[in-house]
Amino acid sequence: MEIVYIILISTVLILSFLSYLLKRTKPPAKKLRLPPGSLGWPYVGETLQLFSEDPNVFFPSRQKRYGEIFKTHLLGCTCVMLASPEAARFVLVSQAHLFKPTYPPSKEKVIGPSAIFFHDGDYHAAVRRLVQSSISPENIRRLMPHIGAAAAAMLRSWDGQVLSTFHAMKKLSFDIGILVIFGQHLSEQRKNELTKNYFTVDKGYNSFATAIPGTPYNNAMKARKRLKEIFREIMEERRGRRTSHDDLLSDFMEWRDDGGGGKLTGDQISDNIFGVLYAAQDTTASVITWMVKYLHDDPQLLHRVKEEQMAIYETNGCGRQPLTWAQTRSMPLTHSVISETLRMASVIAYTYREAVADVEYKGLKWWDATVRWSTVHSQYPSTASAFASAGAKRFSAVMPHQSQAIVN
Ligand code: HEM
């Protein structure tokens, strides 16, 4: 019996000693700081400053004062702004598992909470597969004649007019978005209803969220409701006629999960239709607009791009035959101009992420992350300020055989 007591007491003593040693050798808890920066006024934060200043002044001035990571308060959210490629890589690549996509609540409400952007897991993967297949090369190839016809009709309608490139491109990309989602089966009246309400939502999307009647945000929410109603009617009509089409709406309506039981609800379809329209429209229109501007500012490059395009135009009997899919694949210089425009213009201004676990980076702790792309892209070493020099350098890296002609 005595021996048992001795063993017990020795075990307790050894364990206590070990625990004491462990406590002594454990590093003291690190003191993490919140990122520097100002949260501005209560409730509105720094939103008013952002909207009254040029974003290219608002952000760089804070970056100069606080560094590459700073906090602020915009559109009702306290957020952490990231302005370096290294921090962006940390959030989106190396430590992506610590974050989930998130948007300011005001934007989530306008787009619709069931849209792909606000989800992860199986639902996100399923919607993503459907959306991706709607813009797959095979699908775009099939839609080529309609896309070509829409672009040619728009160009003809411009004759002799002075117009805003961005607005014209928004209209064109909206029409193509409608084509991908609803196919060629919408009446002109439906298209007009969709256009009118969509552009009212668009006007209020970036406004301060308020329920005051007549404000852009409130008008946007009302138009969004009408859009939902129109989407519902179109779905009802299709169900009534028992018709299936080769378009994204039918893919959404006919999707079944692996077990065959689960399908998308009306709200899920409606929010994702709006989400896809929104994701496709402004981005594409902005890229084309910036491309027109950069080419206008670089006459030599413009001349080379025109040569490339005119050669195809002449092969097609000066526009008598439509542009083919193969021809869209063999415009190397035009493709390079598009890629460089994407990098330089950073048309997606921000990417939002919310931390799902404690995040520690360079002694700072975060609760969310907003990557500002223009600041990130502008820091790549190959960047030069003018399209002419940046373009020429980058194109020479991409296409050695053409660099001479572009640089000279
Ligand atoms: C040049 C044009 C485009 C640019 C620059 C662009 C850029 C982007 C970026 C940066 C994201 C990621 C946002 C984030 O992670 O927070 C994104 C997501 C997305 N884009 Fe685009 N996009 C373009 C065109 C389109 C088009 C034509 C569609 C139409 C189908 C589309 C549909 C989507 C969707 C559905 C998502 C969400 C994907 C997900 O959550 O997994 N985009 N886009």
In a domain, 163, yes or no: yes
Report CA(168)–ligand 1 centroid distance (Å).
Answer: 21
What is the pLDDT, as a whole number, of residue 15? 59
How far is 47 from 60, CA to CA, in rounded Å?
16
Answer whether residue 161 is part of any domain. Answer: yes
Q: Could you say which DSSP state residue 33 is in?
A: B
> For residues 203 and 216, what is the distance between their CA atoms, to the nearest angstrom?
7
- Domain annotation covers residue 95: no
Per-residue pLDDT of 3-60, as tens digits, reads 666 666 666 666 565 555 555 555 555 677 888 889 889 888 888 888 888 877 888 8
Q: 347: Cβ below 6 Å to ligand 1?
A: yes
- pTM comes to 0.76
- The percent of residues in the chain predicted with pLDDT above 90, rounded, is 46
Domain range for 219 is: 109-354
Please report whether residue 372 resides in a domain. no
Residue whose tokens read 């996100």: 124
Tokens linked to 14:
């050894």
- Alpha helix locations (H) across 112-187? 121-134, 137-157, 165-182
Q: Which DSSP helix (H) or strand (E) runs through 352?
A: strand 350-361
Q: Where are the alpha helices (DSSP H) in 31-81?
A: 47-52, 55-66
pLDDT confidence tier of residue 390, bands split at 50, 70 and 90: very low
Q: Residue 170 — pLDDT band, cuts 50, 70, 90?
A: very high
CATH number where 117 lies: 1.10.630.10
Q: How far does the centroid of ligand 1 lie from the alpha carbon of residue 102, in Å?
A: 14
Is 408 a residue whose pLDDT tops 60?
no
Contact 185, 362 (CB under 8 A): no
Least confident of 11-15, 103-107, 163-167, 389-393: 389-393
Q: Is residue 6 part of a domain?
A: no
- Give the separation between CA 193 and CA 230, rounded to whole angstroms: 8
Q: What is the mean pLDDT of residues 143-152?
A: 90
For the ranges 46-60, 107-121, 135-149, which has the lowest average pLDDT?
Answer: 46-60
pLDDT at 24: 55
Mean pLDDT of the chain: 83
Q: Cα(386)–Cα(77) distance, rounded to whole angstroms?
A: 35
Domain assignment of residue 2, yes or no: no
Report yes or no on 270 lying in a domain. yes
Count of domains in the chain? 1
81 lines ligand 1 (CB under 6 A): no
Whether 230 is covered by a domain: the verdict is yes
Is the CB of residue 348 below 6 angstroms from any atom belonging to ligand 1? yes
Q: What is the C-alpha separation between 124 and 156, in angstroms, rounded?
A: 40
Which residue shows structure tokens 């791009």?
305
Which residue's CA is minimally distant from atom 15 of ligand 1? 351
